Amino acid sequence: MIYQRSSALFAEAKKYIPGGVNSPVRAFKAVGGDPIFVKEAQGAYLYDEDGNRLIDYIASWGPMILGHAHQAVVQAVIEKAKKGTSFGMPTEIETDLAQLAVSMVPNIDKIRFVNSGTEACMSAVRLARGNTGKDKIIKFAGCYHGHSDSFLIQAGSGAITFGSPNSPGVTQGTAKDTLLADFNDLEAVRSLTQANKGEIAAVIIEPIAGNMGCIIPTDEFIHGLRELCTQEGILLIFDEVMTGFRLGRGGAQEALGIDADIVTFGKVIGGGLPVGAFGASSEIMSHLAPDGPVYQAGTLSGNPLAMAAGLAMLTELNDKPEIFESLAKKTEYLHYGLEKSLMTKNIPFQINRYGSMISVHFTEAPVVDFKSSAKGNNDTFKAYFHGMLQNGIYLPPSAFESYFLNDALSYADLDETIKVVEGLKL
């Protein structure tokens, strides 16, 4: 495939935008080459500026569960846009979406809409601190909760890709209140809670990690984490920016059988538009302004376009829960197809999968945390990524990202993907 126009557009973008992109992983620095500029998308396919059709396995990094330009979502946005795009005032549709989201998600009574997953996680931590009167939080190496200062301590995905998990601009004062543990290591969390007795406000975690590949928690770890937080008076925050409304109506809480204290969501709750949210019990949410002293605000929070798209998206998922089973079966089919094809290459690999999330790691040992994920052979990944791209398959341009399947993918698309892997020379 030829990507001449994308390369020309990238050269032009670099004159005016830092690195030529508005989010670092898009720059392809981890894999080499120039990024692809998308012109439009429909269903399971991306169409780039050079006229190439690509089978999409990132789904806008998760939220396009139904596929791109889904008719119900697009129509909802069009009709709402005709009536105005932003008011900075309450609208009825905010309550409609809040009511639906609360009915779908276990263990939350109220929800607050914000503008991004980053903002949702930042606000959730502030709420936890305000609720408990404590300052410190525990996060896990390789988990990414957005680019707020508190989270850029061994963050996942882009921060790993560029080798700078501790970003300049994050103060030592902020860093000292963020304690770090390894994913799937309950003893490390226990040690931190004992060493910082009575000082920890919250533990924040991607319950199914997606920013170091798809990493699945052991039952002992995730259930033990819930028990430990309860014992120590620590609030457990599930960052469900990726998993919310993807792994089931109730997200990872439902899938894992765990009740978190605070849950955060990303673009999926706005049908892929710029939006996020966080929710909790009425008691915890009562600390949030204007009811309580914990301040959070935003002119665009609950903007009508995102609310309309989100209501259309969640209504579809709520009314058709078979979508989740369909997605899981397609992901399982892809898993076994990839496994069969890669076994002929005489190279070590691991495939992790949960629901409609999946990742391929070119390493011998099982991938259970950031350390084991980082052992993957990046040269092999680069060859794999570009080989797939040249054959019309778009994967995350980083070895530290989960794939996200969308329901518009057909088994013919999956077979085409598997066939491409069969023909790769790695």
Domains of the chain, residue spans: 4-69+321-423, 71-319
User: How far apart are the C-alpha atoms of 375 and 116, rounded to whole Å?
Assistant: 31
Report whether CATH 3.90.1150.10 matches the domain 4-69+321-423: yes
- 102 touches 111 (CB < 8 A): yes
User: How far apart are the C-alpha atoms of 258 and 277, rounded to whole Å?
Assistant: 19
Q: pLDDT value at position 305?
A: 97
107: region left, alpha or beta (phi > 0 left; psi from -120 to 50 alpha): left
| AA identity, residue 260 | A
Measured from the Cβ of residue 365, the count of other Cβ atoms closer than 10 Å reads: 12
Q: pLDDT value at position 73?
A: 97
Instruction: State pLDDT tens for residues 106-140.
Output: 999 999 999 999 999 999 999 999 999 999 999 99
Q: pLDDT value at position 86?
A: 95
Instruction: State pLDDT tens for residues 312-330.
Output: 999 999 999 999 999 999 9
Q: pLDDT value at position 70?
A: 97
CA dihedral (79, 82, 83, 89) positive or negative: positive
Q: pLDDT value at position 153?
A: 65
Q: Is 292 exposed, middle or buried (0-12, 13-18, 19+ CB in 10 A)?
A: middle
pTM: 0.95
Q: pLDDT value at position 166?
A: 57
Task: State which residues of the chain have pLDDT below 70.
Answer: 149, 152-167
DSSP letter at 347 equals -
| AA identity, residue 264 | T
The CATH class of 71-319 is alpha beta
User: How far apart are the C-alpha atoms of 182 and 251, rounded to whole Å?
Assistant: 23
DSSP letter at 287 equals T
Q: Which among 388, 376, 397, 398 is positioned nearest to 418, based on CA atoms? A: 388
The owner of tokens 């066939």 is: 419
Q: How far is CA 28 from CA 147, 162, 183, 398, in A?
A: 19, 10, 27, 8
- 126 touches 222 (CB < 8 A): no
Q: Catalytic amino acids? A: 144, 239, 267
CA dihedral (133, 107, 331, 215) positive or negative: positive
